Structure 1
């Protein structure tokens, strides 16, 4: 199977420790983290993805907001610059150990975090990166 992710979730998955907007969102994300850790590939999509799915049932979700679309563009550009591969719609990415190591190193030193500006989760993610990514649910040993 394949996990469908919007570009900014390529960054979010690096620090996911089981916290989220709602219980349904968090439980869904935990299942996705397990799938990614098991070696499922990622298909980059525009707009709401597999992680967003539980939020789409809410009346005031932010998944379609311009700020989130802007975050996607920034994340896509940062990942492309870092890895030298396209990271936009239709791109297939294997989140193997090398991919996650390179992404986490760049996340920790801030080179791919411009898209994280104005995100309410950014302080939590900064702390997780500073801890050496202790407790993250997307394993790096794929």
Structure 2
């Protein structure tokens, strides 16, 4: 059995909106591989485990410090808002299909300005576009 991909709560929306941009080449390559798995033919069945620390996406991030981040306070605030919005808690496991369903149910288009406040990627509109597309599907 394939081990679950580990996600911090805010990475569910990041994975949804990812479009090939990142903090470094190795970060972007790693994120692209994870997202390709989620968007692949068996992606809906990919098992994800929620964590409150550095996860599969964070692994090569230049901001990572051990199992934390140089932006720990900002990331914790993002994670708290996302965990609350999506009803997630550390240790919980769900499939990517279940995650998308939760996003569709609990995160309406136009809500990312508040939910993702402080995220440097918000201004690009990639996640908002992906969220809108998810709601149209």
TM range (shorter): 0.7 to 0.9
The match for 2:76 is 69
The match for 1:92 is 93
In structure 2, the CA distance between the partners of 1:127 and 1:50, relative to structure 1 (3 Å rule), is closer
1:56-105 Cα offsets, whole Å, 9 max, x none, are: 5867x94661111111111100112xxxxxx1101111111x64255257
Report the 3-state secondary structure (helix = DSSP H, G, I; strand = E; otherwise coil) of the residue aligned with 2:49.
Answer: strand
> How far apart, CA to CA, are the structure 2 residues paired with 1:64 and 1:120?
12
In structure 2, the CA distance between the partners of 1:34 and 1:116, relative to structure 1 (3 Å rule), is same
Runs of 4+ in 1 over 4 A off after TM superposition: 56-59, 131-134
Question: Which structure 2 segments of 5+ residues have no match?
Answer: none
> How far apart, CA to CA, are the structure 1 residues paired with 2:64 and 2:9?
22
> How far apart, CA to CA, are the structure 1 residues paired with 2:52 and 2:127?
27
Higher relative contact order (CA 8 A, sep 6+): 1
> How far apart, CA to CA, are the structure 1 residues paired with 2:61 and 2:126?
25
Give the TM-score of the pair, scaled to structure 2.
0.75
After superposition, the CA RMSD in angstroms is 2.9
Give the TM-score of the pair, scaled to structure 1.
0.73
1:37-57 Cα offsets, whole Å, 9 max, x none, are: 333111001111000000158
> How far apart, CA to CA, are the structure 2 residues paired with 1:34 and 1:42?
14
